[in-house]
Structure 1
Amino acid sequence: MNRIKEVLEEHGIKQTWLAERLGKSYNMVNSYVQNRSQPRLETLLQIANLLNVDVRELIVSSKK
């Protein structure tokens, strides 16, 4: 699971902007945002860099 949707909302950034910067289709980014698929680690790092956040902010921890 990821928190891409929440982080985008916190920063007021649209999925279309992220898709353009990543060079990916809107549908692919939307599948990440809706947690239907998970981005590769390289893509997750790229998203974190674009949003200027620590990559750990984009991940839901499985530890309790």
Structure 2
Amino acid sequence: MSESYAPPRAAAEPTGHPAVDAAVQAMANAAPLPLPAQIAQYEAAHRTLGETLATIDEA
């Protein structure tokens, strides 16, 4: 099985929330990484997005 390099993709349209934008970009950047590194990036993004959603509920 051969792995090909894929450059990081640009994230979706900016949300206007820096933490959310950074999490989305981190997920896009994780694509070419080895699987364990991808998982770490996705888990970190999940935490960030969960924390952000929790603050919305508090508002």
TM-score using structure 1 length: 0.27
Q: Tell me: higher relative CO, structure 1 or 2? Use CA pairs within 8 A at least 6 residues apart.
A: 1
TM-score relative to the length of structure 2: 0.28
Instruction: Tell which structure's C-alpha radius of gyration is larger.
Output: 2
